[in-house]
Amino acid sequence: MIAPPDRTPLTRDFFDRPVLEVAPDLLGRVLVRDSADGPIEVRLTEVEAYAGELDPGSHAYRGRTARNSVMFGQPGHMYVYFTYGMWHCMNLVCGPEGMAGAVLLRAGEITEGAELARKRRLSARNDKELAKGPARLATALDVDRRLDGADVCGDPSSPFTVLTGAPVPSAQVSSGPRTGVAGEGGVHPWRFWTSNDPTVSPYRAHTPRRRRT
C-alpha cells in the first residue's frame, strides 16, 4: 500500500541550502495557496534553479535592486516577478541570507482546488494544463507582485505553505537546459522535472525578440 503524501510543512533549513540541491528536491512537494476564495494545492513537477550573482540567467546577476531584493533575503520566501508586461512567475528563495538564489516554479499538478483554478484558467483544455508553465501556475493560484516576499515556512499570516509531500526519487528526475534562457546562462542543465509527467511544460530554447521597425 502506498503511503499518503506527508503533510508536514517544510522548515527553513530545507531552503537554506545551495540552490542546485534544493531545486530537484522540490519535485513532489506540495505548494499550498490559501485565499479568501479557498485553498489550492499543487504537487510540483517542474522547476528551474537560478544561482544569483554567479548566474548570467538570474535576475540577481548584476546585484541587488528593488525588484530582486527578496532573493538576497532570508531563505524560504516567495520571490514574485512580472514579465513581458503581462505574466507573473513564482520563485522560492534558497541559500544563506545575503547570497541570492531562487528556484523558479515552472509547473505542477493541482491536487486540490481544481474547480477554483479552472475559473482562473479558462483557456486550459484539461486539468493537466491548469498549471503547465510558470505563468499558468501563477495565474491558477492568483499570484501577483503583492505576494512578493511572502514566507512559506510556517508564518500563520502567509498565504503559502510548502508541504513535504512525496519527494520524487532521483531515478525519476530528469534535467536539461533552462527554458528560454539566452547566452552563457542557457547552457546550464538546471531545469529539473519529474520524468514523463503530463503536467511538465515543453522545453523552448531562447528566441531573440525582434525589434520593431
CATH number at residue 162: 3.10.300.10
Separation CA 114–CA 42 (nearest Å): 9
Separation CA 64–CA 150 (nearest Å): 18
Q: Which residues sit opposite 163 in a β-bridge?
A: 9, 30
Domain count, the chain: 1
Nine cell digits for residue 83: 514579465
Does pLDDT of 52 surpass 50? yes
Residue 27 resides in a domain: yes
Residue 74 resides in a domain: yes
Strands 102-112, 87-93: pairing is antiparallel
Residue 133 resides in a domain: yes
Res 111: pLDDT: 97
pTM of the prediction?
A: 0.93
Does pLDDT of 82 surpass 50? yes
Nine cell digits for residue 164: 513535504
Q: Per-residue confidence at 154, pLDDT binned at 50, 70, 90?
A: confident
Res 84: pLDDT: 78
Q: If you count DSSP H runs as helices and E runs as strands, how many of each does the chain have, helices first?
A: 4, 9
Amino acid at 133: G
Domain extent at residue 99: 6-194
